Amino acid sequence: MADLKCTIAGIKSINPFWLASAPPTDKYVNVVRAFEAGWAGVVWKTLGEDPPVINMSSRYGVHFNSARDVIGINNIELISDRPLDINLQEIRQVRDEWPDRVIIGSMMAPIDERAWKELAIKIAEAGVHGIELNLGCPHGMCERGMGSSIGQVPEMIERTTRWVREAVDIPVFTKLTPNITNILWGAEAAKAGGAHAVSLINTVNSVISVDLDAMAPTPTVDGKGSHGGYCGTAVKPIALHMVAEIARNPETSDIHISAIGGIENWRDAAEFISLGANGLQVCTAAMLYGFRIVDDMIDGLSNFMDEKGYKTIDDFRGLAIKNTLDWNELNINFDTKAVINQDSCIECGRCHIACEDTSHQAITFDVSADGKRSFSVINDDCVGCNLCAIICPVPDCIEMQPVKNDLPYLTWPQHPKNAIRDID
């Protein structure tokens, strides 16, 4: 059996699955229920002292697909609105009752050294294993000079991280905002400030939809709306990219990563680990399906590792990094063509329509005497874009097959058209 134990920022965890700082980690009863379900750790919902927090009603907006599956949730909820003393007392109680599980205390404060240090000390004294600095919240708190208003300024990231490092002697996680041009700015600043790990991504700033009757963004509050933080499976591609950028950047490749963003099943987890994540945080999936989803995640990841021969998470952590390149490093001599399996084809014609209308007119069809349609690929016109395989409703009916050639690996900068000419 695969060993799912992992270590992040020096903290040992029975598996890589933690709950992220959010409503599911707001109080004792939620956290205990999560631990009973098998979660290895939680990041307690963000704590603060000043100013006081009053949350809105309602708080969540949703983005559905055509089948009414939830793609993402937008929230306008702020940090914990429960008294700090109660939160700290409950943290102590859970720590005593669940000594083998991890509790990270999330915190937020204004740009004031004393405020950060005093709050960090209080949280550390409650017995948490580490502290996460919430520098990513994109709504409500940032208007008060906290959250992403700090996380978008590298100098302030470095400063707040250093303040907390000076105040406590437990691991410090700096939580990064995706609402920035280059995630490496935040990661490098966190490392410069002494962070043991970075957590990412926080939510993406968004307006998720508009109520066309009320003519206001959703969720609506007394007929009005605002921007909020977008999370869920839709943000996974953004999170994967940002995790990979940090893991493959020489300046930050040695800092531990607690990956967050659209993790809904074991495959999502394995993808983040393959791109360098040391541990994982989940929120939206737990809110949509309940805490028991961790069973499927644990079983699925364990089965995957057994099938691949990986005994520990470190056996495949970061293996995809070596194959994650800048565009200009890819091989332009590599070629693929679409191949249609006639036995699997259901004659829907979607591949033809998509290619004919929006791509390269590389799929044609013939109609037999009995009315049966037969679709085929014009190889000379096929550019290997994958669109037909993506939109085909029959799994593996259309495959992209590499074209054999003897051409060397050639990058775009190496192409003769881009050779630097001697103007003399």
Per-residue pLDDT reduced to its tens digit, 313-346: 999 999 999 999 999 999 999 999 999 999 999 9
3-state secondary structure the chain: CCECCEEECCEEECCCEEECCCHHHCCHHHHHHHHHHCCCEEEEEEECCCCCCCCCCCCEEEEECCCCCEEEEEECCCCCCCCHHHHHHHHHHHHHHCCCCEEEEEECCCCCHHHHHHHHHHHHHCCCCEEEEECCCCCCCHHHCCCHHHHCCHHHHHHHHHHHHHHCCCCEEEECCCCCCCHHHHHHHHHHCCCCEEEECCCEEECCCEECCCCEECCCECCECCCEEEECHHHHHHHHHHHHHHHHCCCCCCCEEEEECCCCCHHHHHHHHHCCCCEEEECHHHHHHCCCHHHHHHHHHHHHHHHHCCCEHHHCCCCCHHHCCCHHHCCCCCCEEEEECCCCCCCCCHHHHHHHHHCCCCEEEEECCCCCEEEEECCCCCCCCCHHHHHCCCCCCEEEEECCCCCCCCCHHHCHHHCCCCCC
First to last CA, the chain: 67
pLDDT score recorded for residue 142: 79
pLDDT score recorded for residue 147: 75
Helix axes 84-97, 113-125, angle to 10 degrees: 40
What are the structure tokens assigned to 208, written together? 């998720």
Q: Which residues of the chain have pLDDT under 70?
A: 50-51, 140, 419-424
Closest listed residue to residue 358, CA positions, set 397, 390, 335, 394: 390
The reply to whether 137 belongs to the active site is: yes
* β-pair partners for 44: 105
Evaluate whether 52 touches 75 at the Cβ level (below 8 Å): no
Instruction: Tell me how far apart the alpha carbons of residues 394 and 386 are, in angstroms, rounded to a whole number.
Output: 14
pLDDT score recorded for residue 159: 97
Spot the catalytic one: 137, 231, 283, 388: 137
Query: Phi/psi of residue 73, each to 5°?
Result: -125, 140
Closest listed residue to residue 228, CA positions, set 61, 79, 357: 61
Instruction: Tell me how far apart the alpha carbons of residues 249 and 189 are, in angstroms, rounded to a whole number.
Output: 13
Query: Phi/psi of residue 196, each to 5°?
Result: -80, -25
How far, in Å, are 20, 45, 105 from residue 28 at the CA level?
Answer: 15, 11, 13
Mean pLDDT (the chain) is: 94
How many C-beta atoms lie closer than 10 Å to residue 235's C-beta? Answer: 23
pLDDT score recorded for residue 114: 96
pLDDT score recorded for residue 417: 80
Evaluate whether 315 touches 355 at the Cβ level (below 8 Å): no
pLDDT tens, position by position, 28-79: 999 999 999 999 999 999 999 866 788 889 999 999 999 999 999 999 988 9
pLDDT score recorded for residue 422: 47
pLDDT score recorded for residue 270: 98
